[in-house]
C-alpha cells in the first residue's frame, strides 16, 4: 500500500476545529459532502478544490488536537487526502483516522524538510516515508499487523463488513 | 511496570510494554448526547447490525444538553432512548448527571477495569484506578457491538505529589499548576499516574478533578492507584476491586514530575488557553459577570460544600449571576440534605439541574459578547461558554465562590478561617 502525492505542509497544533469548524458539526454524518467545502478552510482556502487524490498532509506536532469529532479525518479522506505525516498526533484523532482507513504516520525528519508541492511517498506497509523532491527518506515504525489489516481494508467498518467481524474476533472464534 | 501496563498485562494474561498495540476486552463503554448520534449511525447505517450489544456495561448518558434546550437536542435524545431500548444499552436519562460522575458513584466502573468513553474527559474515572481513555464514536460503536478494541499501551509519566495543601487551596490548583508547567500538549501520547504522600489527604472527589484535568495536558489516560482512601470509599459503598493488580509498586515510568503541593496558592487559567496559569492575585482586578460552579471537573459534593461554606451568610454581588449545577442527582440530593443548596440559594445562587450545560455553552448560562466568567470547568478557549468575544477564567470552586461575592476574581482564603 503506497500513497504518493503532493505535499501540503502545515504547522503545529492543527486542531479538529481547523479541519472542520464546530459550527458545521450539526450536519449529519451522512451529509459529509455538504461539509467538505469547508475542510481546512481557514488554513488553506479552497483546499477541497486544490487537493488531488493521494496528496499527503505533512504537519508538525499534535495534529488533530481538540474535540474528538470524527468528521475531521472523514472529511480529509473524502476530499482525497491519502495520508498524513506528522511529528505527533492527538490520540483520539490518530485512532479515528486508522478506524476510517486513513494512514497516519509519525515521522521526525520529513516534517522538517518538506514544503508544499514536494512529492511525498508513504509506504504504509514497510514504514518508509520519502520526500521524492528533496531526496530524503525516513524509516518510521511500521504498523502492527492488526492495524495494517484495518488500514488496507479501508477502515474498521469496512473490515468488519468484509470479514463479518474484527480480525481479533475471527482469530479467536 | 506502570499501573496501566499492569492492568493491561493482567487483562491479557501476558506482559505488555508501552507502545505495544493490543486487542483487549472492553469492560465498560459509554457515550453521551453529543457523541451518541454517530454511535447510532455507525451501528445502524454503517455496520448495519441489528442485535443486542456485546458488552453488559454499555451506557448512554443524556448529560450535555439536558433537559433538551431545543428541538434538535430533543430529537437526539429521542433517538438515544429508542436505540438504547432496541440494542440493550443502559440509558441514563435527563437528570441522572454527567457521565464520568455517574459511572464512578454508581459503581458502574471499578478499579482495574479497562473502559472507553466517547467523551474526551473519560480519563476522569482513572481516579479510582480504572484504565480509561476517550475514543471516537466509531470506536465506541465497535466496542459496544463486539466487546473488543485495539489500544496502544501508553507511556506513563509519574506525577509525584509531595506535601499537603494549604487552606483554601484545592486539587484544582494542583492540576492548574501542572498545566502551567507542562503546557497543554505536555502529556501528548502519554498517561499520567499520580503518586505521593499528598494523595493521602485527597478524597475521591478531589482526585477526580486531578485526573479530569489531565485531558487538558493532552494525556491519553490518567490513573491513581487504589490506596487506603479508595478502599474506604469502595467499602462504604459496597463496591469491589474488579481486577486486582499490584497497586503499590512504583516503576516503569518514562518520566517523573515532582510537585510540592504545600507551596501552592489559589490559581486561575486565564483565557484563551488552559495553560495560561496565573495566581489569583495577579488577576484580582478582573470583574466578572457570571460564576459557574459545576461540571465533571468540579461539580461534586466537596466542591458544593466549599462554595456553601464561603457563601454562608454572605451574598452574591448585585449584578453577578452565580450558577451552581451539581454533577449528578446523587450529589444534588446529598447537598440538599446537608443544607448546602439552601445556603447557596439564600446567598443568591441559581441552582441548575445536573447537566454539562454552561460548561460547553450548550444551555443554562451562556455568555454574551464581552462578558467574563469564572468557571470551575476545564476549558476556556474562545467561545467555549458562549460568544467568541466572552472570556472564561478557570478556577477552583473556592475561588469561584469568593469571586461571586466580590464581583471580581477573588482569593478565597480570607473567607475560610
Ligand atoms: S461537564 Fe463539560 S467537560 Fe465534562 S463532560 Fe460535560 S461538557 Fe464535557
Does B35 touch chain A if contact means CB atoms closer than 8 Å? yes
Angle between helices B397-406 and B301-311 (to 10 degrees): 30
Give the residue, by CA position, lying nearest to ligand 1 atom 1: B295
Backbone angles phi, psi at B67, to 5 degrees: -65, 160
Does B46 touch chain A if contact means CB atoms closer than 8 Å? yes
CA distance to B94, B217, B298, per residue, from B98 (Å): 10, 21, 11
In terms of Cβ atoms closer than 10 Å to its own Cβ (0-12, 13-18, 19+), residue A117 is exposed
Residue appearing with cell numbers 445562587: B349
| Domains, chain B, with CATH or none | 3-260 (3.30.499.10), 268-411 (3.30.499.10)
pLDDT score for A146: 82
Q: Which of B120, B121, B361 to mutate to test the pocket of ligand 1 (most atoms within 8 A of CB)?
A: B121
Backbone angles phi, psi at B209, to 5 degrees: -65, -40
Q: Which of A30, A65, A95 sits opposite B135 (nearest CB)?
A: A95
Find which of A91, A141, A157, A162 to mutate to test the B interface (most B CBs within 10 Å of its CB): A91
Q: What is the tens place of the pLDDT at every residue in A25-58?
A: 555 555 778 889 999 998 999 999 999 999 999 9
Backbone angles phi, psi at B52, to 5 degrees: -70, 155
| 3-state secondary structure (DSSP) of residue B303 | helix
Compute the CA torsion angle B408, B394, B278, A64 (nearest 10 deg).
Answer: -150
Which residues in chain B are contacts of A70 at CB distance < 8 A?
A: 38, 136-138
Does B378 touch chain A if contact means CB atoms closer than 8 Å? no
Interface contacts (A, B; CB < 8 Å): 82
pLDDT score for B63: 97
H/E run at residue B77: helix B71-87
Angle between helices B204-214 and B228-237 (to 10 degrees): 110
Distance CA A19, CA A43 (A): 8
Does B188 touch chain A if contact means CB atoms closer than 8 Å? yes
Residue of B nearest to A13 (CA): B185
Distance CA B389, CA B207 (A): 33
Interface predicted TM-score (ipTM) of this complex, two decimals: 0.89
**What is the CATH T-level fold of the domain A2-141, as seen in this structure?**
Aconitase; domain 4 (3.20.19)
Q: What is the tens place of the pLDDT at every residue in A58-116?
A: 999 999 987 777 889 999 999 999 999 999 999 999 999 999 999 999 999 999 999 99
Which residues in chain A are contacts of B384 at CB distance < 8 A?
A: none
Atom of ligand 1 nearest to the CA of B99: 5
Q: What is the pTM of this model?
A: 0.93
CA distance B54 to chain A (A): 12
Centroid of ligand 1 to alpha carbon of A109 (angstroms): 37
Residue of B nearest to A29 (CA): B38
Residues lining ligand 1, CB < 6 A?
B 64, 98, 119, 121, 295-296, 356, 359-360, 377-378
Give yes or no for residue A167 having a pLDDT over 70.
no
CB contact under 8 A, A70 and B45: no
Angle between helices A91-99 and A71-79 (to 10 degrees): 50
CA distance A133 to chain B (A): 31
Residues B181, A58, B137: CA angle, nearest 5 degrees: 70
pLDDT score for B18: 95
- Give pLDDT tens digits along chain B (417 positions): 999 999 999 999 999 999 888 889 999 999 999 999 989 999 999 999 999 999 999 999 999 999 999 999 999 999 999 999 999 999 999 999 999 999 999 999 999 999 999 999 999 999 999 999 999 999 999 999 999 999 999 999 999 999 999 999 999 999 999 999 999 999 998 999 999 999 999 999 999 999 999 999 999 999 999 999 999 999 999 999 999 999 999 999 999 999 999 999 999 999 999 999 999 999 999 999 999 999 999 999 999 999 999 999 999 999 999 999 999 999 999 999 999 999 999 999 999 999 999 999 989 999 999 999 999 999 998 889 999 899 999 999 999 999 999 999 999 999 998
Which residues in chain B are contacts of A97 at CB distance < 8 A?
A: none
CA distance to A87, B23, B190, per residue, from A133 (Å): 20, 39, 34
CA distance B149 to chain A (A): 9
Centroid of ligand 1 to alpha carbon of B154 (angstroms): 24
Q: Which of B213, B295, B299, B355 to mutate to test the pocket of ligand 1 (most atoms within 8 A of CB)?
A: B295
Residues 6+ positions from B336 with CB-CB distance below 8 Å: B342
CB burial string A32-70: b at 16+ within 10 A, e below: beebbebbbbeebeebbeebeebbbbbbbbbbbbbbbbb
Distance CA B327, CA B72 (A): 23
Q: What is the tens place of the pLDDT at every residue in A5-15?
A: 999 999 999 98
Atom of ligand 1 nearest to the CA of B379: 3
Q: How confident is the model at residue A168 (pLDDT cuts 50, 70, 90)?
A: low
pLDDT score for A172: 41
Distance CA B326, CA B294 (A): 6
Residue appearing with cell numbers 443544607: B339
A101 half-sphere exposure, CB direction, 13 A CA radius: 15
User: Residue A22 in contact with residue A67, Cβ under 8 Å?
Assistant: yes
Residue of A nearest to B220 (CA): A91
CB burial string B155-166: b at 16+ within 10 A, e below: bbbbbbbeeebe
Of B250, B159, B235, B245, the residue nearest B204 (C-alpha): B235
B324 half-sphere exposure, CB direction, 13 A CA radius: 33
Atom of ligand 1 nearest to the CA of B362: 7
Q: Got the DSSP string for B262-283?
A: GG---EEE-TT-TT-EEEGGGG
pLDDT score for A58: 98
Compute the CA torsion angle A106, A110, A114, A119 (nearest 10 deg).
Answer: -90
Residue of A nearest to B49 (CA): A161
Q: Got the DSSP string for chain A?
A: -EEEEEEEE--S--BHHHHS-GGGTTS-GGGHHHHGGGTTTTTSTTHHHH--TT-EEEE-SSBTBS---THHHHHHHHHT--EEEES-B-HHHHHHHHHTT--EEE-SSHHHH--TT-EEEEETTTTEEEETTTTEEEE-PPPPHHHHHHHHHTSHHHHHHHHSS-HHHHHH-
Long-range pairs for A168-173: beta carbons < 8 A, 24 or more residues apart: A168/B23, A168/B148, A168/B150, A169/B146, A169/B148
| 3-state secondary structure (DSSP) of residue B90 | strand
User: Residue B117 in contact with residue B134, Cβ under 8 Å?
Assistant: yes
Distance CA B255, CA B190 (A): 10
Q: Where are the domains of chain A?
A: 2-141, 143-173
CB contact under 8 A, A100 and B138: yes
CB contact under 8 A, A168 and B23: yes
Give yes or no for residue A170 having a pLDDT over 80.
no
In terms of Cβ atoms closer than 10 Å to its own Cβ (0-12, 13-18, 19+), residue B236 is exposed
Give the residue, by CA position, lying nearest to ligand 1 atom 2: B359
Distance CA B149, CA B369 (A): 43
Amino acid at each position: 500500500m503506497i500513497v504518493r502525492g503532493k505535499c501540503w505542509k502545515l504547522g503545529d497544533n492543527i486542531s479538529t476545529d481547523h479541519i472542520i469548524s464546530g459550527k458545521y458539526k450539526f450536519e449529519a454524518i451522512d451529509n459529509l459532502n455538504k461539509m467538505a467545502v469547508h475542510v481546512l478552510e481557514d488554513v488553506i482556502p479552497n483546499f477541497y478544490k486544490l487537493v488531488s487524490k493521494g496528496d499527503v498532509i505533512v504537519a508538525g506536532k499534535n495534529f488533530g488536537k481538540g474535540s474528538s469529532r470524527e468528521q475531521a479525518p472523514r472529511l480529509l479522506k473524502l476530499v482525497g487526502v491519502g495520508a498524513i505525516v506528522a511529528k505527533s498526533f492527538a490520540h483520539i484523532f490518530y485512532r479515528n483516522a486508522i478506524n476510517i482507513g486513513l494512514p497516519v504516520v509519525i515521522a521526525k525528519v520529513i516534517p522538517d524538510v518538506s514544503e508544499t508541492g514536494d512529492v511525498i511517498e508513504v509506504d504504509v506497509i514497510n514504514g518508509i516515508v520519502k520526500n521524492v523532491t528533496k531526496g530524503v527518506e525516513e524509516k518510521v515504525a511500521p504498523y502492527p499487523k492488526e492495524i495494517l489489516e484495518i488500514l488496507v481494508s479501508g477502515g474498521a467498518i469496512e473490515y468488519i463488513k468484509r470479514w463479518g467481524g474484527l480480525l481479533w474476533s475471527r482469530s479467536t472464534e | 511496570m506502570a499501573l496501566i501496563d499492569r492492568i493491561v498485562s493482567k487483562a491479557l494474561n501476558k506482559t505488555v510494554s508501552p507502545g505495544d498495540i493490543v486487542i483487549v476486552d472492553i469492560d465498560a463503554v459509554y457515550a453521551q448526547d453529543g457523541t451518541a448520534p454517530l454511535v447510532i449511525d455507525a451501528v445502524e447505517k454503517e455496520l448495519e447490525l441489528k442485535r443486542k450489544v456485546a458488552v453488559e456495561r454499555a451506557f448512554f448518558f443524556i448529560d450535555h444538553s439536558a433537559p433538551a434546550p431545543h428541538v434538535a437536542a430533543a430529537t437526539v435524545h429521542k433517538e438515544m432512548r429508542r436505540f438504547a431500548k432496541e440494542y440493550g444499552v443502559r440509558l441514563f436519562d435527563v437528570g441522572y448527571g454527567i457521565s464520568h460522575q455517574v459511572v464512578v458513584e454508581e459503581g458502574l466502573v471499578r478499579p482495574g477495569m479497562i473502559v472507553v468513553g466517547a467523551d474526551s474527559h473519560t480519563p476522569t474515572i482513572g481516579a479510582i484506578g480504572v484504565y480509561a481513555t476517550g475514543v471516537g464514536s466509531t470506536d465506541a460503536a465497535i466496542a459496544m457491538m463486539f466487546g473488543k478494541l485495539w489500544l496502544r499501551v501508553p507511556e506513563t509519566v509519574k506525577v509525584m505529589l509531595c506535601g499537603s495543601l494549604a487552606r483554601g487551596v484545592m486539587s484544582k490548583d494542583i492540576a492548574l499548576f501542572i498545566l502551567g508547567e507542562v503546557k497543554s500538549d505536555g502529556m501528548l501520547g502519554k498517561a499520567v499516574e499520580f503518586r505521593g504522600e499528598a494523595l493521602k489527604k485527597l478524597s475521591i472527589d478531589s482526585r477526580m478533578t486531578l485526573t479530569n484535568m489531565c485531558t487538558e495536558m493532552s494525556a491519553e489516560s490518567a490513573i491513581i492507584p487504589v490506596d487506603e482512601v479508595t478502599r474506604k470509599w469502595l467499602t462504604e459503598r459496597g463496591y469491589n476491586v474488579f481486577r486486582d493488580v499490584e497497586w503499590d509498586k512504583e516503576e516503569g515510568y518514562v518520566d517523573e514530575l515532582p510537585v510540592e503541593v504545600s507551596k501552592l496558592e489559589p490559581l486561575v487559567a486565564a483565557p484563551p488557553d488552559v495553560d495560561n496559569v496565573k495566581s489569583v492575585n495577579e488577576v484580582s482586578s478582573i470583574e466578572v459577570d457570571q460564576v459557574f460552579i459545576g461540571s465533571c471537573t468540579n461539580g461534586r459534593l466537596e466542591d458544593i460544600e466549599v462554595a456553601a461554606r464561603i457563601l454562608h451568610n454572605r451574598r452574591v454581588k448585585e449584578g453577578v449571576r452565580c450558577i451552581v449545577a451539581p454533577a449528578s442527582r446523587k450529589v444534588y440530593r446529598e447537598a440538599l440534605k446537608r443544607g448546602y443548596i439552601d445556603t447557596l440559594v439564600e446567598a443568591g445562587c441559581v441552582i441548575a439541574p445536573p447537566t454539562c450545560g454552561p460548561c460547553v455553552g450548550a444551555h443554562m448560562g451562556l455568555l454574551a459578547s464581552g462578558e467574563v466568567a469564572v468557571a470551575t470547568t476545564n476549558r476556556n478557549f474562545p467561545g467555549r461558554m458562549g460568544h467568541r468575544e466572552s472570556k472564561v477564567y478557570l478556577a477552583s470552586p473556592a475561588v469561584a465562590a469568593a469571586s461571586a461575592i466580590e464581583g471580581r476574581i477573588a482569593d478565597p482564603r480570607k473567607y475560610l478561617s
